Amino acid sequence: MPVTYTRTGIPAGGKQGEALKYFKARAEAIHKAYGVDTEVRVRLGGPVGQVILISRLKSVQELADIKKRVIADTLAGKIPTAPADVFVSGEDAIWIEA
């Protein structure tokens, strides 16, 4: 069953540019390392500057397998992490087709 994975971040005041730059860098690194097409979007309305990464995968198992690799590679410094003061909050979600 196809799934959509999202990571949403609300940037701290004045950090919108840094938040967008980080999400774009992370999306590029994920695409390069795993071949996953990851979109970056900025919300119009709502929390100012909120950004989201969107990835569509074939199954929950594919997501789990890639997520394990992303975590390991992030800890190894191969995938960018956000500076500590850029985001106020964030949320990951997995969406299934109804």
Task: Report how far residue 84's alpha carbon sits from residue 90's, in angstroms, rounded to the nearest whole number.
Answer: 12
pLDDT in tens, 38-52: 999 999 888 878 999
Task: Report how far residue 58's alpha carbon sits from residue 17's, in angstroms, rounded to the nearest whole number.
Answer: 32
pLDDT in tens, 3-30: 999 999 999 999 999 999 999 999 999 9
Residue-level pLDDT at 40: 97
Residue-level pLDDT at 45: 83
Task: Report how far residue 13's alpha carbon sits from residue 27's, in angstroms, rounded to the nearest whole number.
Answer: 23
Residue-level pLDDT at 30: 95
Domains of the chain plus CATH, in order, are 3-96 (3.30.70.100)
Q: Is the pTM for the entire model greater than 0.95?
A: no
Averaged pLDDT for residues 69-93? 94
Residue-level pLDDT at 98: 80
Residue-level pLDDT at 34: 95
Cβ–Cβ < 8 Å for 52, 2:
no
